[in-house]
Structure formats: structure tokens, C-alpha cells
A and B are shown apart, each in its own frame.
Chain A
Amino acid sequence: MTSPTAPMAAGVRGLLDPDDDRADPGIGRQLSLPELLEALDRSGLTGRGGAGFPTSVKVRAVAGDRRRPVIVGNAMEGEPLSFKDAVLLTRNPTAVLDGLETLGRAMRCRRAILAVHEDLEASSLTAALRGRRTELARLTGGFVAGQESAVVAQLNGGPPKPRDQFRRVTEYGVDGRPTLVLNAETLAHLGRIARHGPAWFRSTGTADDPGTSLVTISGAVHRPGVIETPRGTRLLDAIAPALPIDPVAVLVGGYHGAWVPAADLEVRLSKSALAPYGASVGAGVLHVLGADACPLEIAARVVDYLATESARQCGPCVNGLPHLATAVRRLASGVRDDSLPLEIDRMAHMVSGRGACAHPDGTARFIGSTLTVFHSHVQDHLGGRCPVRRQTRS
């Protein structure tokens, strides 16, 4: 996996460069909780796992509980298009573990657990864990297994299935304790903010979305890989190091994300700039669609995959997603049924918000974006032809 680095603030190595901090432990590890909270507030760090929630708010929610919490670093990375957490744990596991420990000490946590997928090959991680209190949990599961309550469920000995959110994991999680689940990359940033200060973090990125992010670039590119990029970078600049090949559009946010068409690649990778596309930076997945790929064919395969990855707990998802997959497949195959887009839209709205987790919502978002951005392509398919394939279908 190639990882060219983006320009970094002076004096601090990139996130993917092993940070030799043993020589200079700094004050990071001894921050008190109020000090850490203040640093997080001022840094404006948001989650790098998908939801993009302000980290200080998440920490506060759990810190308010009198019981000693459990902290979980989430590196499950169930999204197939995302590799950044795996790369981070391979190249710079210390950054993640430092962040986890800084947080754990400040919160007087009962347990600190790093949750990784059992398939992760991480000898450097095992080495970095020596002598630390942090536990390594090797977990199983697919797409939804990385959802925060699914991780907690598995850590509690159950199957990797999301739980109903009425009783949040922040109140009742691992071992019944208040549990704070943060993405591995978020923890790495947290540790660095504790060490180098919020001002350093804010020296890159934008005012409302500061710092850097790891992005995984895939698809029609010569050099797929993971890169560290300042937030607010223009999308076309972010994918440039990967050498894209005639991009038609970029899928931002993975299988639950949204498309940005080629004409709009100057959009900045920040919350506010991406919002009009129904997209968010999320876990930093940037998948490039080339000129020779049919977006509806890709969408059909994605929705098919998402349907099979349902945890099979919730009626609307178990029933609705296969139905959606069939409809999108029909559209991709060039079935001349003008009611298809409407039916797909109706079904997408039907499944949204009706599940224990956001799996149906994300699927609906992806489908909605596909039908919007590739509207004319959809019309062509309904007319029986695909502009990419240049074949007439019956």
C-alpha cells in the first residue's frame, strides 16, 4: 500500500510515519480530564470513523457518569473500501495506543480495549502493545460489525450485531459500564493533540473542520492507497497523488456515502462543503469511478452486498434491502420499467430510520445519490441502453 504524505505542519511527522516518542514522552500522557477536555474543545477534533461527531462531546457524555468507564478504540473497519485504520495500525500503532492511554488515564477507565478485525495482520501492533494496559480484542464480523453497539455486543460475548439504541452504550456498554467507542484514527489525533496542543492541530485544515484525515483512495486510479490529507482539501487535490484515470465521479464515504460528479471535484473535503451532496468525509473513503464503468452496475453490486450484510435483526432492513437490491439490479440490467426510479425511491424512504442501526439509512443514501447524480444515465438505461457499454438492451 503506497502512502505518499501530504505537507504537514512543521516539526511534527505525519500520522503514518512512526512517531518515535519514547525519547520524548512529552506531557501528553499526564493530562487530567479537564485539561484533556479543554484541549479537545479547542482543537475541534471530530470523529474519523464515519459519523464525524465532535470528540469532546462524546468524551463528556461518558465522563459525566460516576462509574469508571470502558474505552474502546474501534479499528474494525467493516467498510470494504476503507484501509486507513489497518494501515495506521501497521505503520504507527503507537499513535493510536498513546491516544487510547491518554484518554484512559484522564478518564480513569476500568478497561482500555483496542478492537481489531481478526483478519488484521499486525505484528507491529503486538509489539507496540507490550507493557501497556490496553487489551487487544480480535473480533469477527462483516460490514455492520464495526458499528459501535455491535463492537460492544461482541466484547460482551455476543454476536457482532448492533443493539437497540434506546439504552446507549455510553450508559450501558461493555460489562454494563458506560462505554466510549472512538475510531482508532480519532484516538491517534487525540494523542497528538494532547502532546502538541490544540493550536498545532488547528494549523491545518479549515476553521470549522480542522486537522487532517486519513483517506483511502481506490477505484480508477494508478496508485490506490492511504494518504493523510488536511481537512478542507479540495477533492481533486486529495485524489491527485493516487493518479486518477479519467474520473467521472468520486464516491465519498464508502458504500453508505454519496457521489460527487467530476464537474464538482473542486469541492472541499469538509462537513459544510460536502453537505449539499448528501455526503460527508466519514471514514475518508474516496472511490473513483472511471469512464469505462457503469455506475448503475456498480450500484447494483454494492446494494446486493449491503443487503447480504444486514445483521438480520430488523424487519424493514431484512425485507427492504433485498427488495431494493432487486430493483437496482433491474435498473442496471436495462429493464425498461419507468416506474423503477419511483419504486426505488419509495422503498429507500421506507427503510430509512427503521432499524437498530444506520445500515438501511446509509444504503438509502447511497442509492438516492446514485439516482440523482447519474440521472441521465438512469434515463438511458430506462430507454434500454447504457452509454458506457454502448449496447442495446431489451
Chain B
Amino acid sequence: MTSNGLDAALWSFGRGAGLAALGLFTLSLLLGIIGRSGRSLPLLGRVGVSDLHRTAALTGTGLVAVHVGSLLIDPYAQLKVVDLLLPFLAAYRPFWLGIGTLAADLLVLITLVSVLRARIGPRVFRSVHWATYVLWPFALVHALGAGSDATSPWFRAFALACTLAVVSAVGWRLAASFPGRGWDRQPRRTA
């Protein structure tokens, strides 16, 4: 392979990892809301819902690392290490990339708190976890803006599908009829 070919491969690989991460985060968010409702899913059960929620999120996180790592190596992307930490300084599409930087930083925080939650305690864990509702739209916006596939129809369909899924899930979450597992400590109907 020529060096250009390698670069092109890295570029595709990096973007592909990013898109896959977005898909997995979408799945994780949906499963998180289902878990919060206390509802079970066929085949998975409640355990499966929370296991898959976690696995999807962690895999997505890993893919973000791949996404960022491969783009760091790729000279075409012109990504520098500082761009991982501080937003809006990048050479290429700085605004949209900056959104991605913020999302990545947020992801690191959320992941660390989740992994260490036994030590941190449920209340702090829960507060930080709410930030996933900020993370997801940042990831989507970053993909739409910084991703060079943003104009391609298959990517748009993918982004639309993810968005519809998240919007309906969040709509359900906010509805008065959402089951909610007893956080408010009200007596329930007798089973």
C-alpha cells in the first residue's frame, strides 16, 4: 500500500470507529432508559438490559479512543494532542471538532466515575451520569459537523435513525406515565 493509501485507510478507520461509537452510545442510552423504567426485555431480562447498556457504553468508549488515536496518527486529520483536551483549537473544522473534544472529555469523566462508582457512592455517580444526556447530542453534532460523511445519504439516514430513537426514548422518560422505579418512595399498587 502506498502511504497515501495507508492514510486513506486510517482516515476511514478513524471515522468508522467514530460512527460505530455513536451507534453504540445510542444503544446504551436507550437501554439506560429502559433499565431505569424497571421494564424487562425478552431474551435479555433486566440483567441483560443493564449488562448490554454497560457493554455498549464501554465498547463505544473504546471505539472513541480508536477514533481519536487513529486520527492523531493520520497526518491528513491534522489532529494534535492538545486538541483532545482543549476545544476549538484544531486546524480542521475547529468548531465541530471542539464539540467532539468536549464530548470526549465528558466521556472520560463519565467513564471514570462509572468504573469507580463503588468507591464514589451512588449519589455522585447518579449526578455525573445525568451528563450522558449532554454527551449524546454533543457526539451527534460533532459527527454531523466534523465528519466528512455528513453529506452522504447513508450517514444521514443513520444519524436520523439514532436521533429518532433517542428523542422518543427521552420523550417516554419525561412522560408522566413513565414507570420509574420508586425513587419517590411512594407506595405502589399491590402486585
In the complex, chain B residues whose CB is within 8 Å of the CB of A315: 182, 185
In the complex, chain A residues whose CB is within 8 Å of the CB of B182: 315
Residue of B nearest to A322 (CB): B187
Interface size class of chain A, counting residues whose CB lies under 8 Å from the partner chain = under 10
Show the binding face of A for B, using Cβ within 8 Å.
Answer: 312-313, 315, 318-319, 322-323
| B185 interface neighbour in A313, A322, A323, Cβ under 8 Å | A313
Known A312-B185, A315-B185, A318-B187; 9 more pairs at CB < 8 Å? A313-B185, A315-B182, A318-B185, A318-B186, A319-B187, A319-B188, A322-B187, A323-B187, A323-B190
Residue of A nearest to B186 (CB): A318
Interface size class of chain B, counting residues whose CB lies under 8 Å from the partner chain = under 10
Given the complex of chains A and B, what is the CA–CA distance between A315 and B181 in angstroms? 10
In the complex, chain B residues whose CB is within 8 Å of the CB of A319: 187-188
Closest-CB distance, B107 to chain A (whole angstroms)? 32
Residue of B nearest to A307 (CB): B187
Given the complex of chains A and B, what is the CA–CA distance between A312 and B190 in angstroms? 17
- Chosen A-B contacts, 12 in total, with CB atoms closer than 8 Å, are A312-B185, A313-B185, A315-B182, A315-B185, A318-B185, A318-B186, A318-B187, A319-B187, A319-B188, A322-B187, A323-B187, A323-B190
Residue of B nearest to A326 (CB): B190
Closest-CB distance, A193 to chain B (whole angstroms)? 42
Closest-CB distance, A158 to chain B (whole angstroms)? 12
In the complex, chain B residues whose CB is within 8 Å of the CB of A313: 185
Residue of A nearest to B189 (CB): A319
Cβ < 8 Å to A, chain B residues 162-191 = 182, 185-188, 190
In the complex, chain A residues whose CB is within 8 Å of the CB of B188: 319
Given the complex of chains A and B, what is the CA–CA distance between A318 and B182 in angstroms? 10
Closest-CB distance, B185 to chain A (whole angstroms)? 5
Closest-CB distance, B110 to chain A (whole angstroms)? 26
Q: Which 7 A-B pairs have the closest CB atoms?
A: A312-B185, A319-B187, A322-B187, A318-B185, A319-B188, A318-B187, A315-B182
Residue of B nearest to A312 (CB): B185
Given the complex of chains A and B, what is the CA–CA distance between A297 and B182 in angstroms? 32
Given the complex of chains A and B, what is the CA–CA distance between A319 and B185 in angstroms? 9
Given the complex of chains A and B, what is the CA–CA distance between A303 and B147 in angstroms? 64
Given the complex of chains A and B, what is the CA–CA distance between A240 and B7 in angstroms? 98
Cβ < 8 Å to A, chain B residues 16-68 = none
Residue of B nearest to A311 (CB): B185
Closest-CB distance, A303 to chain B (whole angstroms)? 14
Closest-CB distance, B191 to chain A (whole angstroms)? 10
Residue of A nearest to B182 (CB): A315
Closest-CB distance, B123 to chain A (whole angstroms)? 12
In the complex, chain B residues whose CB is within 8 Å of the CB of A312: 185
Given the complex of chains A and B, what is the CA–CA distance between A148 and B128 in angstroms? 32
Given the complex of chains A and B, what is the CA–CA distance between A315 and B183 in angstroms? 10
In the complex, chain B residues whose CB is within 8 Å of the CB of A318: 185-187
Of the candidates B182, B185, B188, B190, the one having the most CB atoms from chain A within 10 angstroms of its own CB is B185
Closest-CB distance, A330 to chain B (whole angstroms)? 14
In the complex, chain B residues whose CB is within 8 Å of the CB of A323: 187, 190
Closest-CB distance, B54 to chain A (whole angstroms)? 24
In the complex, chain A residues whose CB is within 8 Å of the CB of B185: 312-313, 315, 318
Residue of A nearest to B185 (CB): A312
Closest-CB distance, A80 to chain B (whole angstroms)? 23
Given the complex of chains A and B, what is the CA–CA distance between A318 and B184 in angstroms? 11
Given the complex of chains A and B, what is the CA–CA distance between A318 and B190 in angstroms? 12
In the complex, chain A residues whose CB is within 8 Å of the CB of B187: 318-319, 322-323
